[in-house]
Amino acid sequence: MATVLKQVLEKFEDPKQAGSMSQIARELELDMNTLQSMVDYWVRKGKLREVINCDASSKGCSCGGGQTDCPYVMTMPRGYERVSTISLDEIQ
């Protein structure tokens, strides 16, 4: 059986299946702070990376830009994706 830390990483295997952080926390029976700590661990290890969640609500503002790019400041939810582990041999 996989450890909870490994289960967190596995939740990001298929981007279509990956839910929100609150959904993952519910599924794994974790509080949000614990889940965030585990995700931060995988980010430090290079297995996950943070992505900017741009959607229709960011229209008119450059997503990920500074406060000077947008007349109103809104913190977008954090998102994460699994870092590809394709080796150079697989590319050739």
Q: Which residues contact 79 (CB under 8 A, 6 or more apart)?
A: 50, 51, 52, 53
User: How do residues 10-53 score in pLDDT, each as one tens digit?
Assistant: 998 877 766 789 999 999 999 999 999 999 999 999 999 988 76
The listed range with the strongest mean pLDDT (2-6, 43-47, 61-65, 72-76) is 43-47
Q: How far apart are CA 21 and CA 76, in angstroms?
A: 13
Query: What domains are there in the chain, each with its CATH number?
Result: 4-87 (1.10.10)
User: How do residues 80-89 score in pLDDT, each as one tens digit?
Assistant: 888 876 544 5
Structure tokens at 75: 């913190």
Half-sphere exposure of residue 83: CA atoms within 13 angstroms, side-chain side: 12
CB atoms near residue 31 (< 10 Å): 9
